[in-house]
Amino acid sequence: MGYLIFIIPALLISLYAQFNIKSTYKKYSQVRSSRGTTGANAAAALLQRNGLGGKVAINQIPGDLTDNYDPRDNTLNLSQTVYGNTSIAAIGVAAHEVGHAIQHNERYAPLELRAAIVPVANFASSASFPILLVGFLLNSMNLVLVGILLFTAVVVFHLVTLPVEFNASQRAVAQLSQAGLISYDEVPMVKKVLGAAAMTYLAATLTAIANLLYYVMIFAGARDE
């Protein structure tokens, strides 16, 4: 019952976030930008504007909303629905990924921190639940504590991700507006697309925190017995 107290609100927010991003993206993917710029062209223009034109390659990749910036090889990877699309949604998403490229170039502290803890977070994400499960089955609170500590690293990763994503979206809106790639009336539309995307990161963070609180609650209860 205690689990439901923590997880139900997080689950509802997560479901809403997924619905919101899909519906918002679908809506604004059907609204053509007034400048008629494709996602790839918008990304190229913003990279050039920030002195990254010859440093970051723009690639088209399969999928929908699979867009990402890879700092390991300085590639900006745009999905098929963004790369050649002239919609508000497409140029907003492309600009968001450029925001990450700018962060990387400027050595933005939260991005640097997130990159540093990725190996630990990846290991913790795969190892924490099995260790917790074995700990609970064997009634070994020491193993449960190890699992909790590992899962804490996952929560920290989510928390660090939030300012990285929010900042990239803020940069995207400012860059698109300053470069004249969107009109004044289109600014709120881009903000809605990127705001919906940001909600998914917030939901993931809240879900991770809810799970951590539940594990801590079980651990504390077992120690008191």
Per-residue pLDDT tens over the stretch 21-40? 999 999 999 999 999 999 99
Set 97, 106, 112, 225: catalytic member: 97
Please confirm, yes or no, whether 97 is among the known catalytic residues.
yes
- What percent of the chain is predicted at pLDDT more than 70? 96
At 3, the pLDDT band (50, 70, 90 cuts) reads low
pLDDT for 224 beyond 60: no
Closest-CA residue to 124 (of 144, 142, 151): 151
Name which residue leads in pLDDT, 87 or 14: 87
Return the SS3 of 55: coil
Predicted pLDDT of residue 9 = 81
Per-residue pLDDT tens over the stretch 92-106? 999 999 999 999 999
Name which residue leads in pLDDT, 65 or 109: 109
Exposed/middle/buried for residue 225 (C-beta within 10 Å: 0-12, 13-18, 19+)? exposed
Of 19-23, 52-56, 151-155, 217-221, the one with minimum mean pLDDT is: 217-221
Specify the pTM.
0.90
What is the distance, to the nearest Å, from the Cα of residue 166 to the centroid of all Cα atoms in its chain?
9
At 199, the pLDDT band (50, 70, 90 cuts) reads very high
* Segments forming the whole domain that contains residue 96: 2-224
Per-residue pLDDT tens over the stretch 112-171? 999 999 999 999 999 999 999 999 899 899 999 999 999 999 999 999 999 999 999 999
The tally of domains found in the chain comes to 1
Closest-CA residue to 205 (of 131, 168, 139, 154): 154
What values do phi and psi take at 85, rounded to 5?
-95, 145
Predicted pLDDT of residue 2 = 55
3-state helix, strand, coil in the chain (%, to 5): 75, 5, 20
Q: How many C-beta atoms lie closer than 10 Å to residue 26's C-beta?
A: 10
Average pLDDT for residues 35-52, to the nearest whole number? Answer: 96
